[in-house]
Amino acid sequence: MEEKKRPWLCTLFTQLFLCIALYIALNLGRPPRFTYRNSYSNGGPLDTYFISVKGGYRTLEQQSRLLKKMEKVALIYKVRFVVNVGETGEDDPLSQNASRIFQSLHIPWYTTRASNSPNDGCFVKEIIITHDKVLHIVGVNTVSVQESMKSTGGFHDNQLNCLTQTLEATSGNWLVVVGYHSVVVCEENKEQIKPKQIHKSLQDIFLKYGVDAYLSTHSCINYTYQGAVAHIGVLDRTPGISHLARRSKRSSFPNINMVDGFLLHRVNHLEITTYAVTIDGEVVSRSTIQQRGREAV
């Protein structure tokens, strides 16, 4: 009787062992995925990832934690480049300390500038997503552009011309502009924060040339659409200032105070999905836009 039980026990043990081995084989080496309320960031093989972060001063401890988390995410998702939304360009403290890490990873690091210099801060980067899909990232010096709009001529026109000529020349499937200052101005009340005013001239340029999204520092709690342009605010470590909120069924946003962190953007030929990642590695929000700023439903 005892001998009859042994083959059955051996078979059960063997099946259990094979199941465990298969589970390990399927998951061994698979990168961990950030989650938001048990939802996964399911990217496809043709998706392109990039990171945006607010520059400026941080303590050495804060900066180290932030850069280590960005490095980890960059490796997991094979990030193509990083955009630092800063005021001082290459002199930005975060950019200076990040250059060593991201150069070793062969990941380009681009930084905006907000100054009176007419020749600084305008750049365009073209990233090929597939053989017929292109992402254009256009950097703009918002201070110089604002000055040129106030005047009837002068050296500040260089920056405005750079912006308009660059936008006119880009024919990519995705067009994202990056600048330090927000185009949408918001005013807080007790219940909510709503867009109060738009810098109309710059917004008109975005609409004219089919800009899909504008990345900047953001004073609004809302991830805001104005016309067909999505205005996305990078994470700000200032308490009480929030970042992304959406009116889409595909997005959810908890009511939290702002913490330090960065945005991870996933781009494909249909949509851009943005994940807000805190300095602790927690994904606290996500948002999806479709091309030419149409909201995902």
Q: Which CATH superfamily is domain 36-293 in?
A: Metallo-dependent phosphatases (3.60.21.10)
Query: Using an 8 Å Cβ cutoff, are 222 and 195 in contact?
Result: yes
CA torsion sign for 109, 112, 117, 119 is positive
pLDDT tens readout for residues 245-280: 333 333 333 433 456 899 999 999 889 999 999 988
Q: Where do we find the tokens 């006119």?
A: 168
Task: Give 277-296 pLDDT, tens digit per residue.
Answer: 998 888 888 888 887 644 44
pLDDT in tens, the chain (297 residues): 555 555 656 655 655 654 554 345 434 444 444 544 334 456 677 799 999 999 888 888 999 899 999 999 999 999 999 999 888 777 788 888 887 778 788 899 888 877 666 556 578 899 988 877 899 999 888 776 666 666 655 545 666 778 888 898 887 789 999 988 888 766 554 444 455 555 677 888 889 999 999 998 865 554 677 778 888 888 876 543 333 333 333 333 343 345 689 999 999 988 999 999 998 888 888 888 887 644 443
- Could you give the C-alpha distances from 289 to 4, 194, 199, 209, 286, in angstroms and in order? 63, 20, 22, 18, 10
Tokens 């999806």 identify what position?
A: 288
8 A C-beta contact, residue 259 and residue 235: yes
Q: 105 by DSSP, 3-state: which? A: coil
Domain ranges in the chain are: 36-293
CB burial string 151-172: b at 16+ within 10 A, e below: eeeeebbbbbebbeebbeebeb
Cα–Cα distance, 94 to 54 (Å, whole number):
9
Q: How far apart are the first and last CA of the chain?
A: 64
- Rounded CA-CA distance 193/88 in Å is 29
Does residue 164 sit in helix, strand or coil?
Answer: helix
One-letter amino acid at 96 equals Q
